[in-house]
Structure 1
Amino acid sequence: MTTSPAAQEKREDPIRPTDDGARALAKTLLRGARFGSLATLGRDGHPTASLVSLATDSDGTPLILVSALSSHTGNLEADPRCSLLLAPGGKGDPLAHARITLRLQARRIAREGAEGERIRRRFLARQPKAALYVDFGDFSFFALDLQAASLNGGFGKAYELLPGDLLSDAAAARAITAMEEGAVEHMNADHADAIRAYATGLLKAPDGDWRLTGLDPDGADLARGDAVLRLPFPAPVTDAASMRRTLVELAAAARRPA
């Protein structure tokens, strides 16, 4: 019995249908990354990869801070098309661990104005050591606007994703942005015990002086020194009231006896 070419092609298609599990994994990889491999196109058309430190905007858009002296900055100015590989790795075979490649369009961010101030704040919250050079005249922020993504969740787990699978709702991101800075300061000043419970009770991290560094519709970012954690929310939040309710519920869950 022979198999038709159409049936064989369908059977061998390595791309799985995108589901909620794939979306959650992709968001975790994106929001949890502190660095990635950025691929740009040189003026001769040859691709070049370099290591960059990362943060994300409120909606999940990747952010980079780069020097005009770096070749990738000139490449992005000449051709804004780029890709970013996020691969945290782990023990054993590196190909057995999840990674994601983002197809992006770079956009320089003006320092002045609300967008520039927000991106500077969020980047430094994620990369505090960048405060040493963030205001040097030859450094610039770029937002890497998402076009598509390829997720590999391990052997036999490949997915093609669209921006809507990775990015937070735009209206919700704006609402959370408006209250984020004050909420982060309040949580760190008055609810350090809850943050520690998030880290140890929900994320099974070692005990220590964990701090909240960012909030967005899909989760919270925690840090202790160079260690970072991503706390995903059970469901996206859309405003200050739902953010407050979610943080309270997560603190209760974190303190609940196992």
Structure 2
Amino acid sequence: MKDQASVLRETDEEARKLARILLRSARYGALAVLDPATGFPFASRVLLGTDIDGVPVILVSALSTHTKALEADPRASLLTGEPGRGDPLAHPRLTTQCIAETVERGSSAHQRIRTRFLDRHAKAKLYIDFPDFRFFRLMPQSASLNGGFGRAYLLEGADLMILSPANDAVAAQAAQVVRDLVDKHPDLSGALAKLFNEPNGAAWRVCGVDCAGFDAISGDLINRCEFESLIDNAADITSHISKIAYSVREI
């Protein structure tokens, strides 16, 4: 039997970046859990957001099978990555093995995640505060990246996280950073459309900022723009955002 490891490529920074983008730009994903009633794997579609440290988050009802499953066994597998034209297996996708952690209501983490989640999923405002709904943080443990035929990689959980001492400070300043960005670059929406190779008529806005980059949304589309380097000082966030804004404005 051929050694399974022989099909894997050495994990490099290009693979890590692709994996991060697949995870952070996903509006939804397929979540697989273990059904406590049957022991069988159970897969469902969930809306996705990301916390300030890059950890994916889900908002789920206590009545759902996947919530009951995570309460019984926090292990889960998350699939992200959208197929495009042609063979769906030719397009990149990421499977992330996670441990689910409940986010307590009333905590600072809950408020931060709630704000970030609504920036992506505005319609979730209709039910986000229902008492039976809760957030889970899906802590990455390991991941398998399929970048297309012949491009398979294994990643560690840390490869998908934003490990910066400035996370909390940037989270506190994120809303102001976005306002300053829009004031400084009023043509940002059109520039983002060019950057992401989308129709110029599409209205794009920044829907999330962190120490590794920012997310932009237009209707049902989300795109991720990563910084060249990780921010480790909150004072640097404005200069990094301005640099990105300037580059897309010039495209």
Q: Which TM-score band applies after superposition, normalised by the shorter structure?
A: over 0.9
Report the TM-score when normalising by structure 1.
0.90
> Any residues of structure 2 matched to 1:133-172 within 5 Å, and which?
133-172=127-166
| Pairwise CA distance, 1:198 | 4.1
Q: CA deviation at 1:239?
A: 2.8
Distance 1:255 1:210 in 2: 13
Alignment map for 1:166-245 (pairs within 5 Å) = 166-188=160-182, 190-191=183-184, 193-207=186-200, 208-245=202-239
Whether 2:56 is the aligned partner of 1:62: answer yes
Q: Secondary structure at the match of 1:193?
A: coil
- Judging changes above 3 Å, is the alpha-carbon distance between structure 1 residues 59 and 175 closer, same or farther for their aligned structure 2 residues? same
User: Contact 1:195/1:212 (CA < 8 Å) preserved in 2?
Assistant: no
State the Cα distance separating 1:131 from its structure 2 match.
Answer: 0.4
The structure that has the greater radius of gyration is: 1
Q: 2:41 aligns with which of 40, 47, 63?
A: 47
User: Contact 1:192–1:211 (CA<8 Å) still a contact in 2?
Assistant: no
Write the distance in 1 (CA, Å) between the matches of 2:129 and 2:3. Answer: 53
Looking at structure 1, the residues matched to 175 and 130 of structure 2 have their Cα atoms a distance apart, in angstroms, of 24
Please give the alpha-carbon distance, in whole angstroms, between the structure 2 residues aligned to 1:192 and 1:127.
Answer: 24
How far off is 1:124 after superposition?
0.8
Alignment partner of 1:151: what SS? strand
User: Mean alpha-carbon deviation: is it higher for 230-239 or for 35-44?
Assistant: 230-239
TM-score by length of 2: 0.93
Looking at structure 2, the residues matched to 248 and 194 of structure 1 have their Cα atoms a distance apart, in angstroms, of 13
- Structure 2 distance, partners of 1:58, 1:194, is 26
Residue 19 of structure 2 aligns with an amino acid whose one-letter code is A
Identity of aligned residues (%): 44
The 5 A counterparts of 1:112-123 are 112-123=106-117
Structure 2 residues without counterparts, runs of 5 or longer: none
Q: What is the root-mean-square deviation in Å for CA atoms of aligned residues?
A: 1.8
* Aligned counterpart in structure 2 of residue 32 of structure 1, from 22, 25, 34: 25
Secondary structure at the residue paired with 1:235?
A: coil
**Preserved CA contact (<8 Å) 1:150 1:158:** yes
Alignment length, in residue pairs? 249
Determine helix, strand or coil for the equivalent of 2:150. Answer: coil
Give the 3 Å change call, closer, same or farther, for CA 136–192 of structure 1 in structure 2: farther
Question: Alignment partner of 1:180: what SS?
Answer: helix
Q: For structure 1, list consecutive stretches of 5 or more residues without a partner in the other structure.
A: none
